[in-house]
Structure 1
Amino acid sequence: MPFRTFLRRGAIIPLAQAAIALAGCAVGPNFEAPDAPPVSGYTAGGFSATKGADGPGGTAQRIVNGADVPAVWWQVFRSRQIEAFVREAIDNHPDLAAAQAALRQAREVAAADTSALMPSITGEGSATRSQVPLAQSGQTGPSSLYTLYKTSVPVSFTPDIFGGKARGIEADLANADYERFQLEATYLSLTANVVTTAISDASYAAQIRVTQEQIDGQRQLVALLEQQFALGAVANSDVLTQKAQLAQTLATLPPLQKSRAQNRNQLMAYLGRLPSQDRGEAVPLANLRLPRDLPVSVPSLLVRQRPDIRAAESQMHQASANVGVATANMLPNVTLSASGGSSALALSGLYGPQSAAWSVAASVTGPIFDAGSLFHTKESKVAALEQKGAQYRSTVITAFQNVADALRAIQSDADLLKAQIEAEKTAAESLKMSQAQFKAGSTTFISVINAEQTLLTARINRVKAQASRYADTVSLYQALGGGWWNRVDESPASEVKPAGVAAIFTPAGALPAQPTPPAN
């Protein structure tokens, strides 16, 4: 799907389009989007596939270079609960509503400023009742009493000779572009955070379950040792050692429970809920699926797909247009004005030829001496453009780093999960052997305790490694831009409101009634 025009229908009016066309021949620099970095990959040594492992999160993944990122990428995990979480967050989170309103505000400003390209026409009418003594004119006699009726239609127009107005509108539209990509960045960040937090919740739940299973087993072992101690089969030191181990394992449970509770609170915040509104929905780690194919955009497209890069580019564009505005302010302005109307002592005479009055004027204004104020103002805009250019390059570097980090994490965490699964198997076998040796009297109970702790650590690490593989996939989709170009994230709340004929002719100083924004 081709990239969309980001100021949608209603946001670009013909005057704004004319302003952009005029800006091409206006003073100041003509903005051109920077070229993509001349690289063919994201990492120094790429890879094409990961290793596979048994169990959840162990799917071997394949890198598909040049493939497009899906619009609703979170569906790759094949979890209805995650889809429900994401939809709820999109519908309810206030940050998205704020971004929609900010976009509409920027578009309304751009639409308002396009009026500078058209003549200003006002209508005036008055009726004045006056009494004038003849003494004011050096005469004697009774005062003169009369009513004077007047109408006039002043017209004023300042041609945009040097393109300063066009550059100003260009800056407005660039700012609207910036807010558009800020909306996309908010959308991407929110959806990625929801999925990542749901995965973290699944990881904490699995770690708590593993710890609880270990606690249950240790409690059973304590009860068994106490029975054996009563029969004289084991020493009291063995019972105390196992009780100490149980206490240590119990101590690891509250921190996990606290972390999960705080993570749940964060998830509720992403969903637009309060912590007390947690209904307990969760995503079991074992129910998630890893996508076998991972799309990786070519580097030349990343600068067009990352919303933060596009937002930084829009800021550069706005700064470039502001240089043109400041340059035009240093040059003369021509103002054309005209007024037509009538004056009469009776309403019936307002439209007669003898009551007509009109005037036509032209004026030129320009700076003569301002002690360098306009020059330094322009130079400040040039410096601002250089600043935005440097910030843009920094954003691009960070974006490429994000993709490279995600790719390395996908590769390394696949190896880590495979190793953790092997470590868990080995730890389980070691515990089984230690228990058998202890029963045979060939080893001490301390070796059994150590084997138990090793197995618990291995199981916890395996759960963490499984969750990391899902989180790494989320990070890659986020680093690649999240596929926003394949969907429409805007709602009617971001659209410019139609003015209508009545609003166009609203008297100056009066505000037209605003229609109620349609529901999202």
Structure 2
Amino acid sequence: MKRFRPLPITRKSILLCFACLPLLQGCMVGPKYVRPTVQAPPAFKETTDQTAPDGTTWTTAKPQDTTLRGKWWEIYQKPELNGLEDKLNDSNQNIAQAFHNLMAARAQVREARSSYSPTVSTTPSYTRSRTSANVVGQAPANTNLNSNNFDLPFDVSWEPDVWGRVRNTVKEYANAAQVSAADLANEKLTEQANLAEYYFELRGQDQLIELYKQTIETYQKSLELTRVLGRTGIDSDQAVAQAELNLKTAQAAATNLGVARAQYEHAIALLIGQPASSFSMPMHPLTTAVPGIPLGVPSQLLQRRPDIAAAERTMSQANALIGVETAAFYPSFSISFEGGLESSNVKNWFTWPSRFFSLGPSASQTLFDAGLRRNTVAQYKAQYDADVASYRQTVLTAFQQTEDSLASERILAKQLQQEQEVIAAAQRYYDLSVVRYRTGVDTYLNVFTAQNTLLADQQTQVNLRVQQMTSSVQLIEALGGGWDTTQLPTEKEVAAKK
């Protein structure tokens, strides 16, 4: 079997061909990426002094430190919460999934970078063949009809990145990896905030359980008092029935509180990667005070929110993809080399005369595609414009969420002050009703009403405190939780092996 032999190629022509290769990679087509501008307000509306309808003024605290840092949950000074957050960062499966998505995205960057280098392949083979004697015809009797062919070829092909197609592809995947890195940071922040919220919700249930425990003790004493007065004829069976009703109602409500507490406990177990069946938390009433949260200025949100960073990197990725598709309008070039060793005798296989090779460039250009390339570029330009709109919407949402949380902080703080006054009035009403009942001035109905009023107001106060704590967590989450874009890996870093 005879292999085609190309015309001889001189060493000078080979060197000239390779010397021209760097000149082929100087161009890069496609639009240059420029981050769209977003107008940020000079200050948060809710950080200015607010005047209430009654004429009083509420002023937002302004901490000296204007940024959150690192483990933001430590601002609450709860060692138990700190330990749970550390477990979450190590064992949460949603975070683990986001991390491995990032690893896959980084591997794609390295896959794209491999196109910078030539592709080398080999297909060694051995063939033994026999020619038919009937085909040979009048060959001498001692003619050897068997032949061997030992082949060790090497194929090298390389496409110079003349128009930046490979560079834009690498940039596209690098931006996608940066999006994954921002998504990982956002997933961490979301799970950390959920854990903190569930923790304070659970402690709020513990506070309610403690409140009902004290209330049930008070109601039990009231029932005993009405029974004594009933036996002495001072009071009636109706008063005893009212006291029993209050006590039984409180006991049933206290039992129901266990449902929500169990659910929050199970939710925390899920977040820290533990089976709900083997996880429990001891009861501790809510005693945490709302800390002062550093705010900064609205423009800092553009650097502190991982979801905004992900949206911005998505735009850059879409822009790079436009460059990839724009390169299709230009001709593509490739250089191929084929060479190796070939012999009919294994003893001569690796000798110098057994060598063969061919080397040469080629080019290709699409002449007609019925508008395929033009419409493909139009598609990705439209996608880029959509990503710009998504980016701006994400920024606006960040401003909204921050203002929502700030408004909640302000309003809840004032409402808690008012609720404290309500409880003081309800307590005085209850104390007076008990005195008047003991002295026989009023019936037990007034005590019954005062008890229910005081309990309802105390429940409202606990719920407001829980709402205030969870609102502070939501504010920290809206501010980015101490993250900033300096923690986002660069395009070079996402291409690294580790």
Same fold (TM over 0.5): yes
Distance 1:379 1:365, change over 3 A: same
Q: In structure 2, list runs of 5 or more residues that go unmatched.
A: 1-23, 53-58
Q: Does 1:184 align with 2:182?
A: no
1:488: how far off? 7.1
Return the alpha-carbon distance in structure 1 between the equivalents of residues 290 and 359 of structure 2: 75
2:303 matched residue in structure 1: 304
1:507 matched residue in structure 2: none
1:169 matched residue in structure 2: 170
2:98 matched residue in structure 1: 99
Return the alpha-carbon distance in structure 2 between the equivalents of residues 486 and 360 of structure 1: 48
Return the alpha-carbon distance in structure 2 between the equivalents of residues 86 and 467 of structure 1: 19
Alpha-carbon contact 1:134-1:143 (below 8 Å) kept: no
Q: What are the superposed Cα offsets for residues 125-176 of structure 1, whole Å, 9 maximum, x if unpaired? A: 2222222236546653445222222222211111111111111111100110
Q: Does 1:268 align with 2:269?
A: yes
Distance 1:98 1:41, change over 3 A: same
Secondary structure class of the residue paired with 2:290: coil
Amino acid at match of 2:268: L
2:56 matched residue in structure 1: none
2:226 matched residue in structure 1: 225
Alpha-carbon contact 2:181-2:488 (below 8 Å) kept: no
1:252: how far off? 2.3
- Which deviates the most, 172-181 or 466-475? 466-475
2:344 matched residue in structure 1: 345
Q: Does 1:207 align with 2:208?
A: yes
Return the alpha-carbon distance in structure 2 between the equivalents of residues 39 and 487 of structure 1: 23
Return the alpha-carbon distance in structure 1 between the equivalents of residues 335 and 197 of structure 2: 61
1:470 matched residue in structure 2: 469
Return the alpha-carbon distance in structure 1 between the equivalents of residues 152 and 169 of structure 2: 34
| Mapping for residues 97-136 of structure 1, pairs under 5 Å | 97-133=96-132, 136=135
Q: What are the superposed Cα offsets for residues 13-38 of structure 1, whole Å, 9 maximum, x if unpaired? A: xxxxxxxxx99952222222333423
1:200: how far off? 0.5
1:364: how far off? 1.5
Alpha-carbon contact 1:215-1:250 (below 8 Å) kept: yes
Distance 1:488 1:476, change over 3 A: same
Name the % identity: 25
Return the alpha-carbon distance in structure 2 between the equivalents of residues 498 and 176 of structure 1: 13
Return the alpha-carbon distance in structure 2 between the equivalents of residues 280 and 135 of structure 1: 93
RMSD (Å) for aligned C-alpha atoms: 2.8
1:460 matched residue in structure 2: 459
From 23, 33, 36, the counterpart of 1:34: 36
- Which deviates the most, 86-95 or 36-45? 36-45
Q: In structure 1, list runs of 5 or more residues that go unmatched.
A: 1-21, 51-59, 500-520
Alpha-carbon contact 2:155-2:337 (below 8 Å) kept: yes
Return the alpha-carbon distance in structure 2 between the equivalents of residues 132 and 63 of structure 1: 96
Secondary structure class of the residue paired with 2:293: strand
- Which deviates the most, 117-126 or 92-101? 117-126
2:325 matched residue in structure 1: 326
1:477: how far off? 1.3
| Mapping for residues 493-508 of structure 1, pairs under 5 Å | 498=497
Secondary structure class of the residue paired with 1:74: helix
Amino acid at match of 2:454: L
Alpha-carbon contact 2:95-2:188 (below 8 Å) kept: yes
Alpha-carbon contact 2:206-2:284 (below 8 Å) kept: no
Q: Does 1:243 align with 2:244?
A: yes
1:232: how far off? 0.3
1:284: how far off? 3.5
2:377 matched residue in structure 1: 378
1:66: how far off? 7.0
1:217: how far off? 1.2
Q: What are the superposed Cα offsets for residues 229-265 of structure 1, whole Å, 9 maximum, x if unpaired? A: 1110102221122222223323322332211111111
Q: Does 1:314 align with 2:313?
A: yes
Distance 1:279 1:487, change over 3 A: farther
1:429: how far off? 0.8
Q: What are the superposed Cα offsets for residues 378-427 of structure 1, whole Å, 9 maximum, x if unpaired? A: 22212211221111111111111111111111111111111111111111
Return the alpha-carbon distance in structure 1 between the equivalents of residues 224 and 454 of structure 2: 21
Query: Which stretches of structure 1, 4 residues or more, deviate above 6 A after TM superposition?
Result: 486-490, 494-497
Return the alpha-carbon distance in structure 1 between the equivalents of residues 192 and 159 of structure 2: 48
Secondary structure class of the residue paired with 1:127: strand
**TM-score w.r.t. length of structure 2:** 0.86
- Which deviates the most, 406-415 or 275-284? 275-284
Secondary structure class of the residue paired with 1:329: helix
2:12 matched residue in structure 1: none
Return the alpha-carbon distance in structure 2 between the equivalents of residues 62 and 74 of structure 1: 19
1:3 matched residue in structure 2: none
Secondary structure class of the residue paired with 2:250: helix
Secondary structure class of the residue paired with 2:329: coil
2:290 matched residue in structure 1: 290
Secondary structure class of the residue paired with 1:378: helix
Amino acid at match of 2:306: P
Structure with the greater alpha carbon radius of gyration: 2
1:439: how far off? 2.6
Alpha-carbon contact 1:129-1:147 (below 8 Å) kept: yes
1:148 matched residue in structure 2: 149
Return the alpha-carbon distance in structure 1 between the equivalents of residues 372 and 138 of structure 2: 56
Alpha-carbon contact 2:38-2:392 (below 8 Å) kept: no
Alpha-carbon contact 1:185-1:307 (below 8 Å) kept: yes
Amino acid at match of 1:26: M
2:258 matched residue in structure 1: 257
Secondary structure class of the residue paired with 1:337: strand
Equivalent pairs, count = 464
- Which deviates the most, 172-181 or 370-379? 370-379
Return the alpha-carbon distance in structure 2 between the equivalents of residues 186 and 23 of structure 1: 40
Return the alpha-carbon distance in structure 2 between the equivalents of residues 405 and 193 of structure 1: 17
Secondary structure class of the residue paired with 2:39: coil
Alpha-carbon contact 1:133-1:143 (below 8 Å) kept: no
Return the alpha-carbon distance in structure 1 between the equivalents of residues 225 and 255 of structure 2: 26
Distance 1:151 1:241, change over 3 A: same
